[in-house]
Structure formats: C-alpha cells, structure tokens
Structure 1
Amino acid sequence: MASGTLELQGLNFNLTEEHLAVQEAARDFAQTELLPGVIERDNEAKFPAEQVRKMGELGFLGMMVSPEYGGGGMDTVSYVLAMEEISKVDASASVIMSVNNSLVCWGLEAFGTEEQKQKYLVPLATGERIGAFCLSEPEAGSDATSQHTTAEDKGDYYLLNGTKNWITNGNSSGTCLVIAQTDVAKKHRGINCLIVEKGTPGFTVGKKEDKMGIRSSDTHSLMFSDVKVPKENRIGDDGFGFKFAMSTLNGGRIGIAAQALGIASGAYELALKYAQERKAFGRQIFDHQAIQFKLAEMATKIEAARLLVFKAARLKDEHKDYVQAAAMAKLYASEVAMWVTTEAVQVHGGYGYVKEFHVERLMRDAKITQIYEGTSEIQKLVIARELIR
C-alpha cells in the first residue's frame, strides 16, 4: 500500500460541536448573504466585494491560520465543511476563499519568516487584504517547471519580469505570491517564490477573463516589468520556490475538492427538491423510476466524494502524508461535480437550461474544478507516482 494511505476504519469522521457550528455558520452565510444576487453577479461577472468583506469579518478567509496571526486556528475539516456550504450557493465566492486560505495564507504560515507573517499574513488572515497565487503562465500551466517569468538576482533585490495567466483574485488582491525562475541552469531547483505587493512600480493587471463559470471571481493576467522585489520578500531559501508551489498545491487540492463537492451537493439538493414539486403524467416526477435512479446515483457519488475529501482533510490535520489522498479527492470530486450538475439540469428538463433555477450555473461552475490547481490528468499522474513511491 502506498505511503500515506490508511484504511477508512482508521480514521474518525465524527464531527465535533465546533465542526457543526462552523458548518451552520457557513450555511447561514451562504443562504442569507450569497444567494441574493448570485445570478446577477454571475451575469455581470461582478466581483462580490461586499460579500467577501463579510467573509473576512466572519473569519472565513483565514480559517486555518493560527490566532497568533489573526486567524481562526481551525482544522482542515472545518475548512472543508465551510467550503462545501459556500460552494453549494456561490462557487465564485468559494474560490476566492480557497485561494486565500489554501494557497496564500497556508504557504505563508508554513514557510514564511516571522517578519513576513507579521507584515503579510495578518492582514490576509483577517480579510483586510486578499491574496493571489501566481504560478500559471501562457506556456506553463500543468508543466509548472517551465517558468518564463524571471527573477534576476541583483544583490539585495530581485528584478522580476514576465506574465502570469489565469490568476484568481488577480485584480482584487493586495498581496501576490509569484513563482519565478532565478537560475535557468538549475531548472526547477532555480525557482523562487516572491511576495509582491499590488502597486509596486512595474506591476500591472491585465484584462479580466470572460469565463464560462465562476464568473464573479476576478481572473486576470498579471504583468511584471522590471519590478524590484526586496530579498526579504523571498519565501524560503534560494531555489525553494518550486517545492513551495508543489507543497502549497497539495493542500489547495483539498480546498478545490471541497468546492467540487459543494457544487455537486448544491445541484443535487435542487434536483431533489424540484423532483418532488414537478408533476408529469399525473404524479411527481420523483415517483418515476428513471428520476429515482438518477437521484440515487447522485447521492451515492456525492457520499463517496465526501469520504475522500474528509479522508484527505483528516490526514492533513493529523500531519500525515496526504498527497495521494488529496489528489484522489480532487480528481473524484471534480468528476462527480461535472456529472451531478449535468444530471441535475436533465432532471429539471427545460427549466434546468434557464438561469432562474441555478443548476445551469452550477454546471458551468463545475467544469473548472477539473482544470485548476492541477487538471484531472495531472491528478492521475500524482496518484500513479504515489502508488509506487
């Protein structure tokens, strides 16, 4: 058996009162603050600024950060529960939350210096600022080793040049973690991660991407032209950047798996409710076996995905190897999200194809979970490598 895997009976999936309280708070926030206007924000590709501000006030943007740095000090299971509830209603809001928690705050707390934590982590954890994780490039998506953004060592600072693509929170972020190549000869061992503040001379934000789904999250290209970044803004030792990125993405996959789970759960709940309200041939469509079979398979796949997501979260909380578990959770949950949302549209029939019933948006949102933070194909590679490690 691959390192890091455990028998399911070896894990405790019982939720504490604290877990249930977090789940309830996230569900209430999603229903009262996110649901009103979610269709309009999607139509207009409008960033949910007011809703994100409230997420920060409620502690949803720094859930796993130590209270010492302004965070909630919660475990990964709490984070997964909150992500699922928020994703049921608004996946655009949940990806903003995921990037800030999983990629930016976690990376800074795990690998940053005390000075970096005080200066950058505290405002990120409290929601005073939002963070962005800048890895992807025009020619470096799944192949993260092919970084064309360069960070030339100039002694006491780096000179940053290049372009980053598909950056979530690209325009709304105040703090960016930028992966760049310092020494091409060293390949992935010559990559660094630099903290770059918005407003630094030479740092510009490109156009907002017109996306199929998660439309109200802001996705931009970021350009760096002779941007001076102080040496003290490098995370870790020289050449640590690639390892930093891969370590951070491993945890990020749990967040996206939880997002996919939430999207699937939200679509299933809508389909189940609709099946009990809609009548055809003189009875509720739920009474037709064809619809019953669809809903039964939806519920089963969602439950299986939930177990994988919880397993990865528990392993991370127990400081055990969770690389394979996170990849499995992200792979399966994203596939389930795409399948369940498509079937939810089918259950709704023609109504599922219009915005008013929400499921068409959930279907559009689901697709990205198979792509970002490692495509489904990359997850399979990660899993395969772990099988023989």
Structure 2
Amino acid sequence: MNTIENNILRGGQFLVKETNCDDVFTPEDFSEEQNMMKDAVMEFNDREIIPNKARFEAKDYAFTEACMVKAGELGFLGVGVPEAYGGLGMGFVSTLLTCDYISSGTGSFSTAFGAHTGIGIMPITLYGTEAQKQKYVPKLATGEWFGAYCLTEPGAGSDANSGKTTATLSDDGKTYKINGQKMWISNAGFCKLFIVFARIEDDKNITGFIVENDPSNGITLGEEEHKLGIRASSTRQVFFNDTVVPVENMLSERGNGFKIAMNALNIGRIKLAAACLDSQRRITTLSVQYANQRKQFKTPIIDFGAIKIKLSEMATNAYVSESATYRAAKNIEDRIALRIAAGNSHQEAELKGVEEYAIECSILKVAVSEDIQNCSDEGIQIFGGMGFSEDTPMEAAWRDARITRIYEGTNEINRMLCVGMLVKKAMKGHVDLLTPAMKVQEELMGIPSFETPDYSELFSEEKAMIAKLKKVFLMVAGAAVQKFGPDLEEHQQLLIAASDILIEIYMAESAILRTEKNVKRFGEAAQAIQIAMAKLYLYHAVSIVEKNGKESIISFAEGDEQRMMLMGLKRFTKYTNYPDIVDLRLAIAEKLKIENKYCF
C-alpha cells in the first residue's frame, strides 16, 4: 500500500507535481470483470433503451420506471453499494464505468439512473446509521424502491443552504414535522423515498432527513414539468405539509445537511462526467456514418475539409474526456482502498476518498458537460437539415445535453469552486502552491534561456508545454491571491478565467499521460491517431490558457508588473515546434472514415 500511496497524488496536486504515465489508470486497463460489466451494460442499453427512444421523447414516465426496474434486476443500480446492503460491492471505477455505458441511450433514463444511484442512494450509504442502511439501502440497491433528492427550492438553487423548508420537533421529542416546497426533483413521480433537507429552528445549516413517500403523510406532488430535454425523466415539485418523520430518520447529525449536500454533489459531478462519455462516442459514430453515406456534389461529405474538422474535434474531445474521467476515478478508488487499509470504515473511506478529489470532480463536470454539448451541436450541423428533424437522433441528443451544464451545480459555480477549493487546500497545507509560485516569480525576474531544447522524444515538447501551462496558472493565481487575499472570491470573472486554465491543464495532461502509457504498451504505430488527438487537444488548450491568462493579467496588474507577467505568459505559451493542426485533423478524420465509427 505504501507504493500506491507514494504514487497517488492528493487532490489538486496534479498542478504542482509531475505525474508518471505508469501511475495513471486508463480504459485500456479495465480488468476482465470490468469489461464483462461494460459488455452487460451496453447489451442492456442496446436492447432496452436505444430502440425505445421514441417512448422517452413522448414523455412515457412509466416506461422510464420500468427500465429502472429492469436495471435493478440486473444489479446495475447497486454496483457500488456494499454487498452487506444488497449491492455488488464493486470499486469506484466499476461504478463510473456502469454510469458511462448505461447513459448513452437517452438523457431521460440517464438522469433517472444517475439521480437514483448517486444522490438517491449515496447519502444514506455514506451518512446513514447502520439501522438506516439496513432498512433502506437494500431496497434502493435492487430497484424495489427508488430514491429522490429534495434540496432545491424556489428561492434556493446554487445557494442551497438558504432553503426555507422547516423541521419542527414534536413536544414528546419523537418526531419532526416538515413543512416546505421543493422543486426540480428528479424521480419524484415514482420514488418511494426522499432525502429531504430542512432547517431546524434558526440553525445556521440545514439538516438531512430520510422521508418515505406516503401521500397520506402530507406529501403532495406538482404536475410533471415539461422540459427542453430529458423529457421522460420525472421532474416534479414536492410539497410537505406537516409531514411527520421519526427522529431516527435524521440523516447524520443536526446541521450537517449542507455538508451532506456538498459531498453528494462531488460524487454526482464525476458521475455526470461519466454519463456524458458514451453519448459522445455514439454521437460521433452516428455522425461519421452519416457523413460517409451522405453525398453532395457527388462526393461523400466526410471527404470535405469542413466536415473533417468537426469529426476530428468531436473524437478528440471524447478521447480526452474519457482519459481524464477514468484517471480521476482510479485516484478516488485507490484513496478509498488506502483508507480502508488504514482502518477506516467503508463509509468514511468512500466519503473522504471522493472529497479528496473534489477539485477534479468539478473540473470534469465542467469540461465533459461542455464537450457533450459541443459534440451534439456539431452532430446536428453534420446532419444538416436532417439534424434539426426529430426523425434523426441529433436534436434529442442536443436537448438532453443542455441540462448537464446546469445540474450538479452550474458550470459557473463549479468553475469558481475549482480555484476556491485549491486555494483552501493550499492554506491547509494539503497542496503546496506557495513554493512553486515563488519559483515562477523568480523565473519571471531572471534572464530567460535562449537555448533550443531537445524535443526529440515522443511528447517531450508536449510535456514541457504542460509544465509551462502550470506556471501560467501559478503566476496568475499567485498574483491574484497576493493582491485580493480573502476577497478573491468576489472577483468572479477572474476566478472563471483562472479555472479555465486549470481545467485545460488537467484535461490535456490526462490525454498525454494515457497516450504515453499506451505507446509503451502497444507501440507508437498502434497509437498514431491517439498521439494526434493528444497533440491537437493540447494545441487548443494552449490557446485557451493564453486567452484567459491575458484577460486575467490585464484585469488586476498594472505598469511594470503587467508587462512582466504578459512577457511571462508569452514565454510560457510558446511552442518551439508548432504542430501541424491541419494534418493532425486529417489523420484523425481518415481513421474515423475507414472505421466508420468512433474507434478509440
């Protein structure tokens, strides 16, 4: 275990420590058991979900519930639930893998599945008493019952702790009465159990409760919401009117609800990223197949450069999203294993394991949700007029993708969280940002080297570029913290720009490390297109870092400081040998054309 511990970076440390490619997990590392699970989930999706897409689009909520029951019968709802509570007890990577491959048929089922297995089951698994877990988790893990999560209110969205729902203790101290209104509650129409957050008296923080869905106990539901996408995902308001809950159904301690909500969201964020992966693969495949078949000017449109750009970028983003998501998933799994080996309970180990990588979870939520939106948008464009029609799958994919940038915390909130959490980790001494930030400052003050580096080895320049992009973040964030101190959180535009730098570093580095590892295993020729994708993504990442770095520096630095930082930015975002982006895209697109699918 010590070897593992030495090789696992703590959350956020990717920014200040170099990662060896041998220490990252990739989809090519799936075990035989994981590949069997993947095949079983894909078979279920191909049999039950994708052929019935019209029923989901027609708002057939009962069919969504029926599919959830079947998923429960096959064990998919309890993959990550300990065997003691009726689950399969598989690791975190297997949990993510299931979420990945079960989610591509339709956003409606994906949302129902994600809400139930994530924020429906996990709060009880992670925070419940032994009695609560024994009573409720087996029913949830098998699909006998379904769960829903009641946090959002009309006046409490991103500011979740400002909810007005109340919980009042009875005179005999045996029950609470809950009163209030919750909205946008996924699975509300068919759930048997709610995780409800309410405020006791004038407590600063909300408290969590396990509430069984009994209409005779003051629980009423609003009508089904009619939504842009995820149309057959049951989404209703829930009203509590003197709903009586036994005191033993309090989840965790009084006032601990906000912490439960935030940690549940950490898990939800990385699961949401996973839920966007196979959708990208399938949209890319459908787009490639259409482009191969569709002819204009007597030529398949896949042979046109404008289409090659789109397909190559779609495939690249899918590959990078996958690389980063499974890298983080294995880090979490290994951290959980370390804690269990150290004597932690499964409950505490999983809770702390995920919490450790909250920064990466937010990064993935933002990056992958935006990738799936772009992928579906380009899919519509490739299909042309047909893409705008309900007769093809693209318009539904685009509509379903839109919610991913909103739930589990909006992308704006998650962008600010990335940087905010990193700064807090630095202040606690968990991530040493100060030492490398000071080194960057000294480098800016020194005389730059004019020697031409030797970049003859594969990825040597790309890895050097990643190291330089990290210097950009340290330069910008270090100066911003120095200037604004605790008031930094008030400068939201600066935080968002800094977060985009952080996001691109993590995503680009993940793709390079995955590809480098696989080149060592399978040879450079076998990974030629993956190499092209890693280089293409990094090229775009450098441009994004340069843009956001410049915007940030101009916003808070003046005079000599500004000039010095802008010179540093130019130095840190300059290639010695620029990649030929046109050739990279052509190679990727040609591979897609030949294989007639996403094939990476």
In structure 2, what is the equivalent of residue 127 of structure 1?
143
Paired residues for 1:322-337 under 5 Å: 322-337=357-372
Determine which of 234, 239, 243 is the counterpart of 1:218: 234
Q: Give me the whole-angstrom Cα distance separating, in 1, the residues matched to 2:386 and 2:13.
A: 43
Bigger drift between 312-321 and 222-231 goes to 312-321
The structure where helix makes up a greater share of residues is 2
CA positional deviation for 1:122? 0.8
1:16 equivalent to 2:35? Answer no
Q: Give me the whole-angstrom Cα distance separating, in 2, the residues matched to 1:76 and 1:277.
A: 40
1:25 equivalent to 2:25? Answer no
1:34 equivalent to 2:52? Answer no
In structure 2, what is the equivalent of residue 258 of structure 1?
274
Determine which of 420, 434, 451 is the counterpart of 1:385: 420
Paired residues for 1:1-389 under 5 Å: 3-6=11-14, 7=19, 9=21, 10-13=23-26, 14-47=29-62, 48-154=64-170, 155-184=173-202, 186-188=203-205, 191-199=206-214, 201-318=217-334, 319=336, 320=353, 321-389=356-424
Bigger drift between 97-106 and 8-17 goes to 8-17
Q: Give me the whole-angstrom Cα distance separating, in 1, the residues matched to 2:150 and 2:285.
A: 35
CA contact (8 A) 2:25 2:326 kept: no
Cα distance, 1:244–1:8 mapped onto 2, change above 3 Å:
farther
Q: Alignment partner of 2:48: what SS?
A: helix
Q: Give me the whole-angstrom Cα distance separating, in 2, the residues matched to 1:259 and 1:171.
A: 22
CA contact (8 A) 2:359 2:418 kept: yes
CA positional deviation for 1:45? 4.5
Cα distance, 1:24–1:192 mapped onto 2, change above 3 Å:
same
Q: Give me the whole-angstrom Cα distance separating, in 2, the residues matched to 1:248 and 1:8.
A: 30
CA offsets 1:18-38 (integer angstroms, 9 cap, x no match): 111111111111111111221
CA contact (8 A) 1:67 1:73 kept: yes
CA positional deviation for 1:2? 7.9
The structure where strand makes up a greater share of residues is 1
How many residues in Structure 1 have an aligned counterpart in Structure 2? 386
CA offsets 1:280-315 (integer angstroms, 9 cap, x no match): 111211111111110000111111111222123222
Q: Give me the whole-angstrom Cα distance separating, in 2, the residues matched to 1:243 and 1:332.
A: 24
- The residue type equivalent to 1:278 in the other structure is R
CA positional deviation for 1:12? 2.2
CA contact (8 A) 1:64 1:106 kept: no
- The residue type equivalent to 1:343 in the other structure is E
CA contact (8 A) 1:263 1:366 kept: no
CA offsets 1:315-362 (integer angstroms, 9 cap, x no match): 221234110111011000001011110000000011111122211100
CA contact (8 A) 2:221 2:239 kept: yes
CA contact (8 A) 1:151 1:159 kept: yes
Q: Give me the whole-angstrom Cα distance separating, in 2, the residues matched to 1:152 and 1:269.
A: 54
Q: Give me the whole-angstrom Cα distance separating, in 1, the residues matched to 2:201 and 2:266.
A: 25
Q: Give me the whole-angstrom Cα distance separating, in 1, the residues matched to 2:180 and 2:147.
A: 19
CA positional deviation for 1:99? 1.3
Cα distance, 1:281–1:312 mapped onto 2, change above 3 Å:
same
Q: Alignment partner of 1:355: what SS?
A: coil
CA contact (8 A) 1:5 1:325 kept: no
CA positional deviation for 1:153? 2.2
Bigger drift between 209-218 and 273-282 goes to 273-282
CA positional deviation for 1:8? 6.6
Q: Give me the whole-angstrom Cα distance separating, in 1, the residues matched to 2:262 and 2:422.
A: 18
CA positional deviation for 1:261? 2.3
Cα distance, 1:63–1:3 mapped onto 2, change above 3 Å:
closer
CA positional deviation for 1:262? 3.0
Q: Alignment partner of 2:190: what SS?
A: coil
Q: Give me the whole-angstrom Cα distance separating, in 2, the residues matched to 1:165 and 1:158.
A: 21
Bigger drift between 270-279 and 303-312 goes to 303-312
CA positional deviation for 1:3? 4.1
CA positional deviation for 1:56? 0.6
CA positional deviation for 1:39? 1.9
**TM value normalised by structure 1:** 0.96
Structure 2 unmatched runs, 5+? 1-8, 337-352, 425-600
Structure 1 unmatched runs, 5+? none
Q: Give me the whole-angstrom Cα distance separating, in 1, the residues matched to 2:395 and 2:199.
A: 41
Q: Give me the whole-angstrom Cα distance separating, in 2, the residues matched to 1:227 and 1:312.
A: 40
Q: Alignment partner of 2:253: what SS?
A: coil
- The residue type equivalent to 2:279 in the other structure is I
Looking at both structures, which has the greater relative contact order when contacts are Cα pairs under 8 Å and sequence separation is at least 6?
Answer: 1
Bigger drift between 207-216 and 44-53 goes to 44-53
CA offsets 1:181-229 (integer angstroms, 9 cap, x no match): 1133x322xx110001111510111111001111111000000001111
> Larger Rg: 1 or 2?
2
Q: Give me the whole-angstrom Cα distance separating, in 2, the residues matched to 1:132 and 1:209.
A: 15
Q: Alignment partner of 1:187: what SS?
A: coil
Bigger drift between 257-266 and 357-366 goes to 257-266
**TM value normalised by structure 2:** 0.63
